[in-house]
Structure 1
Amino acid sequence: MATNAERTAQTRARLIDTARALFSEHGYAATGTEAILEGAGVRRGAMYHHFADKAALFEAVCLQLCEEAVPAIEAATERVDDPLEALVQGSLAWLRFVTQPGVQRIWLLDAPTVLGWSRWEALDRRLGQQALREGIEAALAEGVLRYEGSPELLATMLNGALNALALRLAAPGTKVPRRVWEQAVRSLFEAFSPPALPGS
């Protein structure tokens, strides 16, 4: 028999999973609280025990996405020895994650508005920018990246470029072949690589 703590955790998980599915399909604005309650099979009081309002539940969904994205990036880079290639593969993994049909509407289209820019930016750093900064620092240390300045600022700039690309890929009616945007990402990082030595 489940304990009270286990039942509480199960209720919270059902609310998040149900809300995530509805937000993904219909968007935040078009998803009513009643639809979430009905889908999760819980009463309004149970929801407010866990979340102050629908926006707080939406933020919990976004936090879940952050928790899923980090392992995806790590899996794409764990066997890559070259730091520059690791940056490329990690960035591609991030783009593939955030442009999934079940993620892009929540993270790219609704989250900046629902959460507010400051909170969304803080979560965005957690979602991918921190890993990007660490990758930049590793590439600089190995000499495979040429840049004079703050790794944090470079990570911010490159993350902005990747976010812009993700928004473009998520835009309705946009069809950019995967090989094209993957090459664009590779070229972005290779632009910071030192020139090859003569005869190399």
Structure 2
Amino acid sequence: MGVKSEKAQATRAALIAAARALFARDGYGATGTEAILASAGMTRGALYHHFADKQALFAAVCETLHAEGEAVIETQADAAPDAFSGLIDGCLAFLDFVVRPDVRRILILEAPGVLGWDQWNEMDRRHGFGLLIEGVEAAVAEGSLAGDPLTLAVMINGALNYGVVWAGQSEDPTALRRLKTGFVDLMESMRR
């Protein structure tokens, strides 16, 4: 990789990191491009060299968060002794990752509205939801779950996403633990 390419990657990464911190703290609507530029120590030209607009930068932040979450999910799922356990462990890792205030705000609460439902869904299908479908397919293939994998994945995904919103907004310090326990109980009730 050349020096120019390394510098471009460093500039892009700095813009994404600055935007991520501000979007997490203040939200997309309250974060202006000037604040992002000041935080990153960049010029407007640098921003528009890498991103068409603030929404494109937000999408890059979402992609970064999805990639981080995907790595956490895969690590936990791959360490499990079987597909069903891997599905549960991957989902629990997802909950731990996405319930974080910065991730929850950006990916769950703001991304559908900022990106639009179609782009948000497409991004989710390439990342977390795609992994969930794979996990459900593996559990069905091993015989520990029965049913249509896509339908099961849609239902599990809905429960997880709403659970993240609920636990993240709860003032009950045990909400995440209760959510995770309830999720495991739900999955065990579906086990064949």
Pick the TM interval, shorter chain: over 0.9
- In structure 2, how many angstroms separate the alpha carbons of the residues matched to 1:191 and 1:172? 26
Deviations for 1:137-194, whole angstroms, at most 9, x for unmatched residues? 11112111132xx311221121111111111112264544333111111122122212
TM-score w.r.t. the length of structure 2 is: 0.93
Decide whether the 8 Å contact of 1:15 with 1:40 is kept in 2. yes
Shift of 1:107: 0.9
Q: Equivalent residue for 1:67?
A: 67
Give the length in aligned residue pairs.
191
Note if 1:154 corresponds to 2:152.
Answer: yes
Decide whether the 8 Å contact of 1:168 with 1:174 is kept in 2. no
- Return the index of the structure with the highest Cα Rg: 1
Q: Equivalent residue for 2:167?
A: 169
Q: Equivalent residue for 2:76?
A: 76
Gaps in structure 1 of 5+ consecutive residues: 195-200
Going by fraction, where is helix more abundant, 1 or 2?
Answer: 2
Deviations for 1:69-91, whole angstroms, at most 9, x for unmatched residues? 11101111222112222111110
- In structure 1, how many angstroms separate the alpha carbons of the residues matched to 2:117 and 2:60? 16
Decide whether the 8 Å contact of 2:77 with 2:89 is kept in 1. yes
Decide whether the 8 Å contact of 2:167 with 2:176 is kept in 1. no
Gaps in structure 2 of 5+ consecutive residues: none
SS of the residue aligned with 1:169? helix
Q: Equivalent residue for 2:11?
A: 11
Deviations for 1:89-109, whole angstroms, at most 9, x for unmatched residues? 110101111111221111111
Decide whether the 8 Å contact of 1:66 with 1:126 is kept in 2. no
- In structure 2, how many angstroms separate the alpha carbons of the residues matched to 1:104 and 1:84? 26
Decide whether the 8 Å contact of 2:83 with 2:135 is kept in 1. yes
SS of the residue aligned with 1:91? helix
Shift of 1:125: 1.9
Decide whether the 8 Å contact of 1:62 with 1:107 is kept in 2. yes
Q: 1:175 to 1:124 in 2, by over 3 A?
A: farther
Decide whether the 8 Å contact of 1:87 with 1:132 is kept in 2. yes
SS of the residue aligned with 1:191? helix
Decide whether the 8 Å contact of 1:22 with 1:36 is kept in 2. yes
- RMSD over equivalenced CA pairs, Å: 1.5
Q: 1:187 aligns with which of 176, 180, 185?
A: 185
Note if 1:112 corresponds to 2:112.
Answer: yes
- In structure 2, how many angstroms separate the alpha carbons of the residues matched to 1:172 and 1:93? 19
Decide whether the 8 Å contact of 1:88 with 1:189 is kept in 2. yes
Shift of 1:8: 1.3
TM-score w.r.t. the length of structure 1 is: 0.89
Percent identical among aligned pairs is 47
Deviations for 1:20-69, whole angstroms, at most 9, x for unmatched residues? 01111111111111000111111111111111111110000000011111
